[in-house]
Amino acid sequence: MTARLRAIVADDHYLVREGVRRALSADGTIDVIAVVGDAEELERAVDREIPDAVVTDIRMPPTHRTEGIEAAHRIRERHPSIGIVVLSQYNDAAYAMELLRGGTAGMAYLLKERIGDPRTLIRAVATVAGGGSQIDPDVVASLVHAGRASSPLAALTDRERDVLGLMAQGRTNAAIAQELHLSESSIEKYASSLFAKLGLSDERHVHRRVAAVLAYLQDQGSARPIEPGR
């Protein structure tokens, strides 16, 4: 019998906390062991419980700016094995880049609307708990198909861009093949081609899928520094 993943949820709004808790508990694979209302409570709970994963809002007391991301970085420093999913209502690459500036392994950035789709949220938690990475498909879609001529992704074909967008959702090659009605070997070829065009190595420790998306976000300038109060 597979052990359930243990997760902690942090959000300052009660209804959102409950929505996340219920979504994660939907299929019986995740135990929500603590639900807290701010970043300080989150860090204390993490230090006490050592969960497999954390699901946290970006904006929480006291300033309602980037407390969730800052807490995520501190948690990662103390507990490198804990996966972290940050939820945001903002389709803004700057937040994703700020979250992932220290590395992509075990990190995910999702829009809050995913709370309404338990499978997506559960998959994200399982992905980060296993060391994987994920960026919300809407964040990716708004950027991947709005490239400019100077972008390194300008060399990608339309199909390679489609594959890249699905990669950022945490999809496996098999899942991408099913979505695009192609063979898995074709997806492997498209993936190898786009990695090569972006100059991404094949070393095992490099999370090339998310790194490919990050390369695009960085080039677009959409990942600008987060302004105070945003």
Q: In the predicted model, what is the mean pLDDT of the chain?
A: 83
Entry pTM: 0.75
Output 5 or 208, whichever has higher pLDDT: 5
pLDDT at 86 over 80: yes
> CB count, 10 Å around CB of 224?
11
Cα–Cα separations (whole angstroms), residue 171 to 71, 94, 96, 177, 226: 27, 23, 18, 10, 28
- My answer on whether omega of the bond before 225 falls inside 30° of 0, hence cis, is no
Tell me if 98 sits within 8 A of 70, measured CB to CB.
no
Region 24-49 average pLDDT? 96
CA distance 123 to 79: 21
Query: What is the tens place of the pLDDT at every residue in 110-149?
Result: 999 888 889 989 999 999 999 888 888 777 766 655 555 5
The rounded distance, in Å, linking the Cα atoms of 50 and 32 is 12
Half-sphere exposure of residue 70, counting CA atoms within 13 Å on the CB side?
13
Domains of the chain in start order, with CATH, are 5-139 (3.40.50.2300), 140-220 (1.10.10.10)
pLDDT of 11 reads: 96
**Position with higher pLDDT, 49 vs 227:** 49
Closest CA to 85 of 30, 123, 33: 123
The token pair that represents 75 in the structure block: 């948690």
Task: Read off the pLDDT of residues 172-227 as tens digits, 9 standing for 90 and up.
Answer: 889 899 999 999 999 999 988 988 887 776 654 445 666 666 665 555 444 444 44
